[in-house]
Amino acid sequence: MKKQTFSFNLSLLEIFLLEMAVWLALWLLDNYLATLLTLILTAIVFAVLVIALISEAIDRSKVPRKYFWIMGISVIAPILSALFYLLIFGGRIDFDL
């Protein structure tokens, strides 16, 4: 019997929309956790992206170009979802601790 393999080849737009949906859901469920994760994960992913771009400029590797685009989307999506959340709720974040 032949083994079936499934390949998920998502476009950049689909990845962006999926990330936006997850981030907006997180913002709607718990805005305190979403604030922390947005600040921390965005900074980490941005730092990894900058280091990867610098190392790519110094010595070309076989990393596909799509990797850099996905990392860029992963920096932009949480920021845009936070701005969208703030737009919806009038720029107010209430931390109910």
- Mean pLDDT estimate for the chain: 90
Number of structural domains found in the chain? 1
Decide if 6 is inside a domain.
no
At residue 91, the pLDDT reads 77
Q: Decide: 85 and 26 in contact? Cβ < 8 Å.
A: no
Q: Indicate if the pLDDT at residue 47 is higher than 90.
A: yes
Q: Residue 1 has what pLDDT?
A: 66
Average pLDDT for 6-12: 82
> Cβ distance 69 to 19 under 8 Å?
no
Its domain, for residue 60, covers 12-88
Q: Is residue 43 part of a domain?
A: yes
Q: What does 50-86 look like in DSSP terms, one character per residue?
A: HHHHHHHHHS--S--HHHHHHHHHHHHHHHHHHHHHH
List, for residues 26-45, the tens digit of each pLDDT value.
Answer: 999 998 999 999 999 999 99
Residue 4 belongs to a domain: no
